[in-house]
Amino acid sequence: MFEYAQRIKSLPPYLFAQIDQKKREKLAQGVDLIDLGVGDPDIPTPEPVVEAMKRAVEKPEHHRYPSYEGMLSFRQAVASWYKRRFNVELDPASEVVTLIGSKEGIAHFPLAFVNPGDVVLCPDPAYPVYKIGTLFAGGVPYLLPLREDMGFLPDFKSVPKEVLKRAKIMWVNYPNNPTSATAGEAFYRELVDWARENRIIIASDLAYSEIYFGEEKPMSILQVEGAKEVAIEFHSLSKTYNMTGWRLGMAVGNKDLVAGLGKVKTNVDSGQFQAIQEAGITALNLPEVEVDKIRNTYRERREAMVRALEKSGLEVFSSEATFYLWVKVPKGYTSAEFVSRLLEECGIVCTPGNGFGESGEGYFRISLTVQTQRLLEAAKRMEGLKL
């Protein structure tokens, strides 16, 4: 009866909505489903954060409209956390904005800087919202393949000159979803120099910075000299503190980029509930031992699952970050074919690599957001396929 707008028609089906539909069908059939699809932590939010929320909800001042850009006290907590974690100085008033989860900020950001026909450089495979936000803004995604032989880092210097002239933004995401790859200082320095030379905004998604297992901590692009001239960084409390359902994040960096995003937000939302921001302050000030517990849980799961998968003959990309495993599909299968077989024959939900972009073909992603016992049960079921 009513026709969708062209911007909706141009969107691909949202990957995780499709997966949810298939899950519902299997559950209705009574299948004992092991869900390794969406990256939604199963570990509860730390108790001090929950208790802070309970107290904050009772405060009448939080029952009214919040500020559009976020409570100054929350933005100050963000700035203090960035200083402790990355030794990056941020002005809470002009270089930090509160988000209703980082997804919201990532989706809205292109609206502030992309005109119809402008190019946005998007990694492939990648979190789908980089491309979707571009399309909503009338921009044109230009895909930069992430390949294993390059450590899943983009070859941004290969972008043709005619594309660079139209490019406004480049997205980067390390530690990376879905590949779990990491990026080092040399990569970021080269990227910042290139962005400054070509007047391109770098939008860094740092949601997984605290899910690491090696000696070397993932870095922020803002640690690189000159990065604040060209970069904005998106972060979230979702993965670090198991707060996916709370919808609380932040964008930080160049004040003009932060202000542009803030201008969009003042026109499309009314800010995040202040009680949640108050609980977020507690999260950002938790002792590091609390985050260590979460990391240790994922480390144990990763090590156990990698051993079990390799025993089954599957090849896992070696990484020390995120709670994902990026696994090659067996020979003779496409990503979709193998993931479908896992669902139909094993009752296991995984995400096909090509669901994150064409360059993800040949891989599938496993999320380590179920208990070790269930992960090993999944590996056992896979082994039964005799791959």
* Per-residue model confidence as pLDDT tens digits over 279-324: 999 999 999 999 999 999 999 999 999 999 998 889 999 999 999 9
What is the C-alpha to C-alpha distance for residues 17 and 4, in angstroms, rounded to an integer? 18
Amino acid at 65: Y
Q: Is the dihedral of CA 17, 340, 42, 287 positive or negative?
A: negative
What is the C-alpha to C-alpha distance for residues 323 and 212, in angstroms, rounded to an integer? 9
Angle at 125 between CA 234 and CA 246, to 5 degrees: 35
Average pLDDT over residues 346-361: 93
Average pLDDT over residues 57-79: 95
What is the C-alpha to C-alpha distance for residues 337 and 343, in angstroms, rounded to an integer? 10
pLDDT in the model for residue 148:
96
What is the C-alpha to C-alpha distance for residues 310 and 318, in angstroms, rounded to an integer? 12
Q: What does the domain layout of the chain look like in residue ranges?
A: 6-44+289-383, 47-284
What is the C-alpha to C-alpha distance for residues 253 and 230, in angstroms, rounded to an integer? 9
Q: pLDDT tens digits, residue range 142-170? A: 999 999 999 999 999 999 999 999 999 99
Average pLDDT, the chain: 94
Alpha-helical (H) ranges within the chain are 6-9, 15-28, 47-57, 72-86, 102-113, 129-136, 161-164, 185-198, 255-268, 274-284, 288-311, 335-341, 372-383
List C-alpha distances in Å: 316 to 64, 121, 124, 312, 381: 49, 27, 19, 11, 17
Q: pLDDT tens digits, residue range 207-226? A: 999 999 988 999 999 999 99
Name the class of domain 47-284. alpha beta
Element (H, E) at 235: strand 231-236
Average pLDDT over residues 184-209: 97
Average pLDDT over residues 340-350: 90
Closest CA to 95 of 111, 112, 129, 72: 72
Tokens 């990227």 map to which residue?
191
Residue 21 has pLDDT above 80, yes or no: no
Q: pLDDT tens digits, residue range 100-118? A: 999 999 999 999 999 999 9
Residue 10 has pLDDT above 80, yes or no: no
Provide the pLDDT confidence category of residue 384 given band limits of 50, 70 and 90: confident
Name the class of domain 6-44+289-383. alpha beta
What is the C-alpha to C-alpha distance for residues 48 and 294, in angstroms, rounded to an integer? 15
What is the C-alpha to C-alpha distance for residues 272 and 69, in angstroms, rounded to an integer? 9
Provide the pLDDT confidence category of residue 16 given band limits of 50, 70 and 90: low
Closest CA to 27 of 336, 364, 349, 373: 349
The DSSP secondary-structure symbol of 306 reads H
Q: pLDDT tens digits, residue range 27-49? A: 788 878 899 988 899 999 999 99
Contact yes or no for 91/82 (Cβ under 8 A): no
What is the C-alpha to C-alpha distance for residues 93 and 95, in angstroms, rounded to an integer? 6
Element (H, E) at 142: strand 140-145
Length of the chain: 387
What is the C-alpha to C-alpha distance for residues 323 and 301, in angstroms, rounded to an integer? 9
